Amino acid sequence: MIITHDHKVALVTGAGSGIGRAIARRLAGDGAAVACTDVSTEGADETVRLIAEAGGRAIALRCDVRVRAEVEAAVAATVEQLGGLHLVVNNAGVVTMSDLDHLTDDEWDFVVDINLKGQFIVAQVASRAMTDGGAIVNLSTVEASVVVSSSGHCQPHYNASKGGVPMLTKALAVELAAKGIRVNAVAPGPINTRFSGGDITGPEAMAFMSQRLLVPRVGEPDDVANAVSFLLSDQASFISGAHLPVDGGWLTR
């Protein structure tokens, strides 16, 4: 199977670190010109530097996915500087480690606005610019389907925000089909990034996770990038509305 994104323009949110950086690098490696957007300009700049070093084409843009004006500016800059927009990855996401008793309204809004409302704003604004059709992938998580209690307690705001992603994905897939845009989601299991703030490769974390993992390791950002690149490609042209686990078998039992 050959995956190519030659002559395609992609926009990735949260491309300044972790999974978003791996996705941006993978899409550029597969031939796309990539707009690397993030609230962290330093992070986005570094991703662009890594892509350029490998011979790819990318630009860095500051964009907070909660702020419509910033999303509109990033999409307009992408079209103007890279010549169009075909592929979008709603990757930006956050978590805070608060249990129900300590969870504040502000924390709820912070996490839900970035993880769920941000995907809506980006999909709405970007799809208007995707005049030749294309594909969108939204980042979900196994925690959209099960409660992992990863820091010894639940994160209700994170579970709720990500629980909305599969249904948002289906609704977008239905509405955007008429424009020739496919929409899918990937649901990573534990991936080795700075996301949760702790070391997920240590013996204590591995003892907890190995009760569920069928593949005996944590995931790497490239594991997710591989699935995203496939779903965005023509090799996945008959797939829309799907929620694909990339989880080492976490959701299997």
Bin 69: left if φ > 0, else alpha if -120 < ψ < 50, else beta.
alpha
Q: Which of 139, 148, 176, 181 binds ligand NAD (CB under 6 A)?
A: 139
Q: Which of 92, 123 has the CB closer to ligand NAD?
A: 92
Q: Which of 29, 31, 50, 66 binds ligand NAD (CB under 6 A)?
A: 66
Q: Is 167 a catalytic residue?
A: no
Q: Is the dihedral of CA 66, 35, 177, 128 positive or negative?
A: positive
The alpha carbon torsion through 222, 224, 226, 229 (nearest 10 deg) reads -120
Answer yes or no whether residue 245 interacts with ligand NAD by CB under 6 A: no
Answer yes or no whether residue 166 interacts with ligand NAD by CB under 6 A: no
Answer yes or no whether residue 231 interacts with ligand NAD by CB under 6 A: no
x/- mask, ligand NAD, residues 85-114, rule CB under 6 A, reads ------xxxx-------------------x
Residue 3, token pair as written in the block: 């995956």
Bin 200: left if φ > 0, else alpha if -120 < ψ < 50, else beta.
alpha
34 vs 48: CA distance, rounded Å: 9
- Which SS3 state, helix, strand or coil, does residue 36 take? strand
240 vs 93: CA distance, rounded Å: 22
CB of 102 to ligand NAD, least distance (A): 20
Q: What is the DSSP string of 179-235?
A: GTEEEEEEEE-SBSSSTTSS-TTSHHHHHHHTTT-SSSS-B-HHHHHHHHHHHHSGG
Q: Are the CB atoms for 142 and 245 separated by under 8 Å?
A: yes
Given the residues 74, 158, 169, 172, the one annotated as active site: 158
CB of 226 to ligand NAD, least distance (A): 14
Q: Which of 9, 14, 148, 168 binds ligand NAD (CB under 6 A)?
A: 14
104 vs 91: CA distance, rounded Å: 24
| Residue in 123, 142, 145 with CA at minimum distance from that of residue 134 | 123
Q: Which of 64, 98, 230, 233 binds ligand NAD (CB under 6 A)?
A: 64
Q: Which of 30, 38, 46, 223 binds ligand NAD (CB under 6 A)?
A: 38
Q: Which of 10, 11, 12, 19 binds ligand NAD (CB under 6 A)?
A: 19
CB of 115 to ligand NAD, least distance (A): 6
List the catalytic residues: 158
Interface residues with ligand NAD (CB under 6 A) are 13-14, 16-20, 38-40, 43, 63-66, 91-94, 114, 139, 141, 188, 190-191, 193-195
